[in-house]
Chains A and B, each alone.
Chain A
Amino acid sequence: MATTTLAPRARPYTSTRARAYEWLTTTDHKKIGVMYMASAFLFFLIGGVYALLIRAELAVPGIQFLEFETYNQLFTLHGTVMIFLFVMPMWTGLANYIVPLQVGAADMAFPRINALSYWMIPVAGLMLFSGYAFGGAANAGWTGYAPLSVRENIGIDLWVGSLVLLGTSSILGAINFIATIFKMRAPGLTLMRMPLFVWNTLVTSVLLLFAVPVLTAGFVMLFIDRNYGGGFFDPALGGNPILWQHIFWFFGHPEVYILILPAFGVVSEILPVFSRKPLFGYKAFVFATASIGALGFSVWAHHMFATGAVYLPFFSFFTFLIAVPTGIKFFNWLATMWGGQLRLSTPMLFAIGFIALFLIGGLDGAFLAVVPFDFHVHDTYWVVSHIHYVLVAGAVFGIFAALYYWWPKITGRMLDERLGKVQWVLLFVGTNVAFFPQHILGLDGMIRRIIDYAPNPGWTELNFLSTIGAFMVGISMLPFMWNVFITQRKPATAGDDPWDANTLEWATTSPPPTYNFEALPPVRSERPLFDLKYGAVEPHAAAVPAARGESHEETRADAPEEFLGEPVEGHEDPDVPGARTTPQVSEHAPDATPREERPKREGGDPAPPTEGRS
């Protein structure tokens, strides 16, 4: 496939030992990103096996093969691993790889702190699981409610230590992203031209920066209560167990957006590319993202309606309010697809699956904002269903959309489309079969986090159905892993811009060289690569303001000279003469622009495009 070639390919390392040393000591954001993603996927598999054990136990009433204590540890570690060791590091890894490329930077702002952030994760994972070696892993649920978490086993101390480490890693990562996004953007890449994945990473990082330290403070208190006779959560000493819930959810609700905002960003990257349209309402989308971030700090106590210790109307109102910016985003996504030339490749399928299923999870959330309804379903399987529709149908679909979309950039190889679609069907059907019945079980009053349930009418069937769905979700990972395996054995033929995409990461080679870019295309809109390939010259996006009475060419097959940037001394690659100077536009370029996309100046509209519109 013909491609846009702007930078020479990095040379491979020669010996195995040198490569291992390189990976262990690297500060390259791309290698660190890949390590983040690989370890996150490993923890995803572990957490997934735990989920299957839980669902197998719950397939029929009665105790099957697990002890009470084992079951408690299973659901605690399942939640903790999936949230803190899978979804968060997976997003951090993707953002690590993609954000510097999308803003046209050579690396993150603080590459060594970036490496430090990563290496805390394996340590924290080992610490979490080492509970098994010291008399039992954590068993008080991923929310670790006091006073249960004050009294239970030593695994909780290790859980606390592990999560404080992961929190520190997240805080350092957030600082790194914010500094990178504010200080390292390419010339012309103003805030309102940033790709939406970058915007969502920015808001996510701000949430992490202000939410995680509060949880760390809570863990400090829990640790002092457990080990030094502290009284934070003990009413007998003057403390208050509800305080834990306040602190946990003050972190925990922004955390929900930390887990899902990057998925919003991914979907907003994929939909325009696969619909052949710009994103509908870019500015509205940015403001919606920022307001979700801000509102995220004002709704934490909706997790605590049933405590009777919070002001219900306030938190109910703000919870409803969050539906507004989220609704704006849904509107933007649908309007982006409306009338577009849809290409149903695997990334697009996952993005559409995300929109369809996250809508269910989001509506569940709006239900829970209704206080009387929340009282009814509090701590039931309705809540389990809600969180899984948000995290499996939301975050996991977003993650796979991102993996399929950026895989060719990261590896230079296209994942197999057929296997990808098999995975999508299994995951889509499995998610719904696994989690939709839990709505009904919750409405019926089935309580979560309990190893057994009564054989009430309908419960056995619904639970069995849910177990079947869970195993479908588990099986859907096999085509993906097989896909990765066979793809890695093929030659790297994806090319630099296989999806005919819009943003800067596709303007360099696949995989990019260590320094990312030899020269950057000019950035005159939020779609710099699209402008480069199709020469879209719109009034607000003119590279050179047209003089009065002149107008720019309507479309260009080739970029004009001034778009090419200056070569950097010492970066010329003698092996690829002229690689930098001539961007080769993909062969389907001329007709890939929908007609209605082109600037509407055909009918002799005399107004020339000018930079200032006064």
Chain B
Amino acid sequence: MSAGSEVVQLPHAEESHVAQPHGDQGMNTALLGMMLFIGSEVMFFAGLFAAYFNARAAADQWPPAGLEDVVHLNPIVIIATVILIISSFTMQWGVWRIRKGDRTGLNRAVGVTLLLGIVFLAMQAYDYFLLVSEESFGINSGIYGTLFYTLTGFHGAHVFGGVIGLLVVFGRGIAGQFSARHHIAVEAVSAYWHFVDVVWIALFIVLYILH
């Protein structure tokens, strides 16, 4: 189905459905589900952050002796951070486009976001590679290494999950499945992507600025 063709309006099952009276009021049910899921993910990262501050509060010196300069602001991290923040804006641009019914705009925006997400993951992998090969800094290098790799690794896993979601949205967008009225998957993946971005900003501040 191309963007310009006539869309045949099928009758809505919900409209005659006795048991879904609230379906057309307030937040969409699927979006509510995604928001609740994000709420649980916030608690997951809260647990990991709690472990970080617990270890940091108990340590005599932070970062621990011998590891003072291992994790520091370097061009890779700064560029990766900028890329992830930009990707949040491109995602939101896509949401705004499809709300106006612009499918091509949505596909462009999601494509760019997808690309930025993959570049972020590649840069994180390269950063890990440098840390392990040049600094011999691994997950077993004491609590500092454990925390660094657990926090950033689980964030990376969530970015990967977001990339999968973006792939689905991109594929469905290419197939022309979204319209100004029906694009809840775009809204949900967008909310998740913003969440992943916010977690990275918190991680960036804690690991690189406040260290």
Report if A and B associate in a common complex: yes
Contacts of A216 in B (CB 8 A): 44, 47
Q: A220-B154, A232-B143 are in contact. Are A179 and B19 (CB under 8 A)?
A: no
Contacts of B138 in A (CB 8 A): 229
| B40 and A238 contact, CB distance less than 8 A | no
Whether A533 sits at the interface, judged by CB under 8 Å, is no
- CA of A569 to CA of B15 in the docked complex: distance in angstroms? 11
Stretch at the interface among B54-62, B124-132, B178-186: B54-62
| B17 and A175 contact, CB distance less than 8 A | no
Q: Mark A175-197, 1 if CB is under 8 A from B, else 0.
A: 11011001111110000000000
Q: Mark B7-27, 1 if CB is under 8 A from A, else 0.
A: 000000000111111110010
- CA of A517 to CA of B21 in the docked complex: distance in angstroms? 13
Q: A230-B140, A231-B146, A237-B146 are in contact. Are A518 and B18 (CB under 8 A)?
A: yes
- CA of A175 to CA of B33 in the docked complex: distance in angstroms? 6
| A224 and B146 contact, CB distance less than 8 A | yes
Contacts of A220 in B (CB 8 A): 48, 150, 154
Whether A246 sits at the interface, judged by CB under 8 Å, is yes
| A213 and B40 contact, CB distance less than 8 A | yes
Whether B142 sits at the interface, judged by CB under 8 Å, is yes
Name the residue on A nearest B42 (C-beta): A213
- CA of A565 to CA of B196 in the docked complex: distance in angstroms? 46
Contacts of B37 in A (CB 8 A): 171, 175
- CA of A113 to CA of B36 in the docked complex: distance in angstroms? 14
Apart from A213-B41, A214-B47, A518-B18, list 17 A-B contacts with CB within 8 A. A106-B18, A106-B20, A179-B33, A179-B36, A182-B22, A183-B22, A214-B46, A217-B48, A221-B48, A229-B138, A229-B140, A238-B142, A239-B143, A239-B146, A243-B50, A247-B47, A568-B17
- Provide a sorted-by-A list of 13 A–B residue pairs whose CB atoms are within 8 angstroms: A113-B33, A174-B36, A174-B40, A175-B36, A184-B22, A210-B40, A213-B41, A213-B47, A218-B47, A238-B64, A247-B47, A247-B51, A520-B19
| B36 and A178 contact, CB distance less than 8 A | yes
Name the residue on A nearest B17 (C-beta): A106
Contacts of A214 in B (CB 8 A): 43-44, 46-47, 50
Contacts of B55 in A (CB 8 A): 232, 238-240, 243
Whether B2 sits at the interface, judged by CB under 8 Å, is no
| Least Cβ–Cβ distance between B175 and chain A, in angstroms | 21
| A520 and B142 contact, CB distance less than 8 A | no
Q: A182-B32, A210-B43, A217-B48 are in contact. Are A231 and B17 (CB under 8 A)?
A: no
Whether A212 sits at the interface, judged by CB under 8 Å, is yes
- CA of A224 to CA of B145 in the docked complex: distance in angstroms? 12
Contacts of A238 in B (CB 8 A): 55, 58-59, 64, 142-144
- CA of A454 to CA of B64 in the docked complex: distance in angstroms? 48
| A232 and B32 contact, CB distance less than 8 A | no
Contacts of B18 in A (CB 8 A): 106, 517-520, 565, 568
Interface residues, chain B, with chain A CB atoms under 8 Å away: 16-23, 26, 29-30, 32-33, 36-37, 39-48, 50-51, 54-55, 58-59, 64, 138-140, 142-147, 150, 154
Name the residue on B nearest A106 (C-beta): B19
Interface residues of A in 237-263 (CB under 8 A from B): 237-240, 243, 246-247, 250
| Least Cβ–Cβ distance between B170 and chain A, in angstroms | 22
- Give the residue among A113, A229, A231 with the most B Cβ atoms within 10 A: A231
- Give the residue among A174, A176, A225, A239 with the most B Cβ atoms within 10 A: A239
Whether A279 sits at the interface, judged by CB under 8 Å, is no
Q: Which of A171, A179, A243, A246 contacts B40 (CB 8 A)?
A: A171
Whether A525 sits at the interface, judged by CB under 8 Å, is no
Q: Which of A184, A243, A568 contacts B16 (CB 8 A)?
A: A568
Whether A104 sits at the interface, judged by CB under 8 Å, is yes
Contacts of A13 in B (CB 8 A): none
Whether A110 sits at the interface, judged by CB under 8 Å, is yes
Contacts of A187 in B (CB 8 A): 21
Contacts of B30 in A (CB 8 A): 110
Q: A214-B44, A228-B140, A231-B143 are in contact. Are A185 and B51 (CB under 8 A)?
A: no
| Least Cβ–Cβ distance between B201 and chain A, in angstroms | 19
Q: A238-B55, A246-B54 are in contact. Are A105 and B20 (CB under 8 A)?
A: yes
- CA of A217 to CA of B150 in the docked complex: distance in angstroms? 10
Name the residue on A nearest B144 (C-beta): A238
Name the residue on B nearest A188 (C-beta): B21
Contacts of B42 in A (CB 8 A): 213
Name the residue on B nearest A107 (C-beta): B19
Whether A516 sits at the interface, judged by CB under 8 Å, is yes
| B36 and A185 contact, CB distance less than 8 A | no
- Give the residue among A106, A229, A246 with the most B Cβ atoms within 10 A: A229
| B20 and A184 contact, CB distance less than 8 A | yes
| A217 and B21 contact, CB distance less than 8 A | no
Contacts of A171 in B (CB 8 A): 37, 40
Q: Which of A110, A176, A186, A209 contacts B21 (CB 8 A)?
A: A186
Interface residues of A in 316-344 (CB under 8 A from B): none
Name the residue on B nearest A218 (C-beta): B47
- Give the residue among B23, B43, B44, B144 with the most A Cβ atoms within 10 A: B43
| B33 and A230 contact, CB distance less than 8 A | no
- CA of A213 to CA of B195 in the docked complex: distance in angstroms? 16
Interface residues of A in 98-119 (CB under 8 A from B): 104-107, 109-110, 113
| Least Cβ–Cβ distance between A281 and chain B, in angstroms | 27
